[in-house]
Amino acid sequence: MRDDDIAAFYDEYGEREWERLDRDFHHRLEFEVTTEYLTEHLPDSGHVLDVGGASGRYAVWLAERGYDVTLVDVSGRQVDIAREKAHEHGVGERVTTQQGDVRALGLDGQFDATPCLGGALSHVLDEGELESAVGELRRVTRLNAPVFVSVMGLLASVTRMLRHARTTEPDETELLPDLAVCRA
């Protein structure tokens, strides 16, 4: 997928990204395991940069625990949803949002922790651009402060979608054609 296709995909995906982590057992487990890990390794307080934070599920969770959060995402619609969700959950003053790219964050701050969970790095397929993205995550994070990274494996994503397609729970098999498109 091209860069503008990625932003357009998540713009269209809309509210489903917020709902995703509460949709079924697998996704709730993903959220619980991730937040448990963050709880164990985050500093006690500070300013956290949520890169690729999409609709703000983790940003809201962090703000509810007293962190100041800056969320950056490539999708303008996801950034808007994150802002709305932060206000709905009473933490709007703790969460700032902006549209941006993991490869060039455009931030000069030194954050106390930087999670980059899920899709942001998964969409960076070029090795040089991936190195730039990882360099950006380190550049904006204080020395010796944690950077948390997770990625979506293509095979695991497709396998999980196919497995859930036979259940009564909502599936996302309509996304398979977009996932199957790779850069040459």
Residue-by-residue pLDDT tens, the chain, 184 positions? 566 778 888 888 888 888 988 988 888 998 999 999 999 999 999 999 999 999 999 999 999 999 999 999 999 999 999 999 999 999 999 999 999 999 999 888 789 999 999 778 887 878 888 899 899 999 999 999 999 998 766 555 555 556 556 555 555 555 555 545 443 3
**Pair of tokens at residue 20:** 């995703």
Residue 90: the pLDDT is 98
pLDDT recorded at residue 162: 61
Instruction: Look at residue 170 in the predicted model and tell me its pLDDT.
Output: 56
Whole-number pLDDT of residue 184: 35
pTM value is 0.82
Q: Which domains does the chain have, with CATH numbers?
A: 3-26+47-152 (3.40.50.150)
Q: Count of alpha carbons within 13 Å of 129, Cβ hemisphere only?
A: 13
Among candidate residues 105, 104, 52, the one with its CA nearest the CA of residue 74:
52
CB 164 within 8 A of CB 24: yes
What is residue 2's predicted lDDT score, i.e. its pLDDT?
66
Distances (CA, A) of 167 to 16, 29, 140, 172, 173: 18, 18, 42, 11, 12
Please tell me the predicted confidence (pLDDT) of residue 183.
Answer: 39
The reported pLDDT for the residue numbered 54 is 93
